[in-house]
Structure 1
């Protein structure tokens, strides 16, 4: 006998579209850190697979001069966003009518991007690189090198304007040398994370309508970054590899439910988590930028703090077959930065205090509203519309989008009274953004981009 949806248990339909929700958002946000599995009635378990394919392309800058920040539209970058997938799992059980426990797994933060063409790729043609970096003043490496040698030989007798030319030319030829040493390499970033959350909840009140909940969070994160091509100026050739690190935080929240109308509301806070990760860096121009004070490679510990967040989840029955849903998420990405030791030290020659490799200007807001409808005794469908504010524009060249608008559809089919299969999809229109280096230089312009998300879920629920 198949299950039939009733208003009291219509809440299961909210899971329909959550297989493809809150993904590819601002900053490094991926999963949206969904906790709704913990609020399901009775004993509940789910396994969710999500696949994301985005098209993010634009134009690089024809201005290769590292000391000039003007943006001049150049060549097409091609699609820089790599498709990726991730899993989410959840299990929840009631100890009695007061206490509940749950365990959730997700992959909350990540990035996956690669430039395979344009001036974000280290080129074999050093003469073309010299011409780009010197804004056409020199068209071949040998002439530029001979000019530099003559300026260096003149020593301190040079007038200020020729001394400035010498320093600019030395920097430019250093960039060309770093590019030649990595010819063919692409700019690439890869960030992976894993979260495991344990939750204990306690229901309060005469009718057990209120619930407080919380628990520890274990988080593992690793990353690799490769900067190539004349777009990155003195940072061309930079590579960092951060070893996996696991650290801990916590989750806490409060919820209210009214089963008679399928109403559930929950406010969830996740703490920031501080990581101390072993990192290897290579920066070919670091010795030249520091007058020999810095090495070209370094092993060090990088301190990175993944951001706190607040999620608000809401649903209520509209009639015996219809459920309205809403989600709101806030993440303060403006507080987040990645500050590798060698990279930051090498930039102190031009920027007091040094620069972060990645940071963001604005906080992220996400809003998603939807409706779920029972259309047959064992079948429900749902739809959503969503908005993500992004984390500022211009933004990092390693993730050049400014939020999105989205629409989604999904369906849930109860195979048995306990087991169900859900599938959903979402289409996203990404906000236009300019890609910016930490120096402030605009190196890319990205517009008219989009993507899609698909997901499938297997769930079990026993409310007896």
Structure 2
């Protein structure tokens, strides 16, 4: 007869790893779009805060001597919330909030990404002195999920639901690295559009086994945009435009797996795929002037993370993870010059009461070396030997429901 690990003895370890499992580096990926809150038993709620600080520095391609580019990665934080409840022993409902995609970069110092003087490439048009290249992108998701458990022992669950998403962005291109695009500025105002998710899960509680695969659809956005392109004045063209931009945030597939190894230890695995090669930001005025997209990627993202969770006492569990993110190609946009990462993380979960628990975790990231390119594919910078760290804390509540 096979070992019975008894799910109750492992409860303190389950989900402890999700705090440290944050901060993807490929494309604009951030939260990893975790849905494991919905897969918990009974009534479950969580609030998660994540902080990430990275050091991304390098050199421009100035001649005869490259100039230093200081740390361009701005620290950022984001939140994730989730609540889930069983309607009966078959149906469950849940609502999740996260901030799935984003970017935060700001150049400084004296290099080819700062406007210091007239740019001779377009007749000495004077840019505001000292302005820097920077970008900020933020998104918000609210997901509703309805699940149904199937089979004689309710081992299978299918789930689906709508997704509401808001996107906004600001980009400034400054410095001679961008040629005639030096001085370009765009503001994309926040607006909301809709997509969906669907998935299937399998569980075997007696060995704490749980596996789930989740698909999230693309979401097509039509967003208000305002642009300024100073160099167009030399071509006697309008230098500003207010209109709309079409942006499609990417689809994704997440696979989440866990199983008990013995009565006090769990093994976990996460795999995520995002086709960033299909994604592009194409502002109308910028595209008219250059026939190029402002941001695009060459490759799709793969993320793999493996972990162990060990229950040390009835109330305390510790966790460890190792991970790999493929990045989205190299060379890559100068607005986010990282080619994936390797990671190692540690975390802990402590049950404050029978229902309430607090978790905390951290992850160290070794970023892949990358060459930064402008939209015409010209390589204008080089970034090497960079790293970062992510910290997270989670408060969770869980209670059993009895429908007998």
Q: Same fold (TM over 0.5)?
A: yes
429 and 320 in structure 1: CA distance in 2 versus 1, 3 angstrom threshold: same
Task: For residue 97 of structure 1, give the secondary structure of its aligned residue in structure 2.
Answer: coil
Tell me the alpha carbon deviations over residues 162-193 of structure 1, each in whole angstroms, 9 at most, x when there is no partner.
xxxxxxxxxx143x41xx33211111100010
Q: Which residue of 2 aligns with 1:148?
A: none
Please give the secondary structure, in 2, of the residue aligned with 1:14.
coil
Q: Does 1:448 align with 2:385?
A: yes
Q: Are the aligned partners of 1:324 and 1:371 in contact in 2 as well (CA < 8 Å)?
A: yes
Give me the CA root mean square deviation.
Answer: 1.3
User: 1:278 Cα deviation (Å)?
Assistant: 0.6
Separation in 1, partners of 2:171, 2:191:
16
Aligned partner of 1:350 in structure 2 is none
| Aligned match of 1:219 | 165
- 1:229-378 equivalences under 5 Å are 229-288=175-234, 291-292=235-236, 294-347=237-290, 354-378=291-315
In structure 1, distance between residues paired with 2:65 and 2:39: 50
Q: Does 1:36 align with 2:57?
A: no
Distance in 2 (CA, whole Å) between partners of 1:390 and 1:262 is 32
Distance 2:295 2:20 in 1: 27
2:57 and 2:169 map into 1 onto residues whose CA distance is: 23
1:422 to 359, 368, 373: 359
**Aligned mates of 2:232, 2:13 — CA distance in 1:** 56
Count the aligned residue pairs.
396
Q: Answer yes or no: is the 8 Å Cα contact 1:17–1:425 preserved in 2.
A: no
C-alpha separation in 2, matches of 1:227 and 1:6: 57
**2:110 counterpart of 1:121:** no
Q: Residue 66 of structure 2 aligns with which residue?
A: 74
Q: State the alpha-carbon separation in 2 of the partners of residues 95 and 420 from structure 1.
A: 23
Aligned residues of 2:12 and 2:316 also touching (Cα < 8 A): no
Cα gap change, 1:33 to 1:73, in 2 (>3 Å): farther
The match for 1:156 is none
- CA 95–9 in structure 1, closer or farther in 2 if over 3 Å, else same: farther
1:8 is displaced (CA, Å) by: 4.2
Alignment of 1:94-113 (within 5 A): 94-113=86-105
Deviation at 1:445, TM superposition (A): 0.1
Conserved in 2, the CA contact under 8 Å of 1:41 and 1:463?
Answer: yes
Moved more, 445-454 or 22-31: 22-31
Q: Does structure 1 retain, via aligned residues, the 8 Å contact 2:6–2:206?
A: no
Question: Partners in 2 of 1:73 and 1:258 — Cα distance?
Answer: 62
The answer to which structure has the higher helix fraction is 1
Q: Which structure: greater strand fraction?
A: 2
Distance (whole Å) between structure 1 residues aligned to residue 222 and residue 362 of structure 2 = 37
* 2-structure distance, mates of 1:73, 1:330: 40
Gaps of 5+ in 2: none
Q: Give the TM-score normalised by structure 2.
A: 0.96
Contact preservation (8 Å) 1:46, 1:457: yes
- Structure 1: gaps (5+ residues): 64-71, 131-171, 348-353
2:22–2:390 contact (8 Å) kept in structure 1: no
- Relative to the length of structure 1, the TM-score reads 0.84
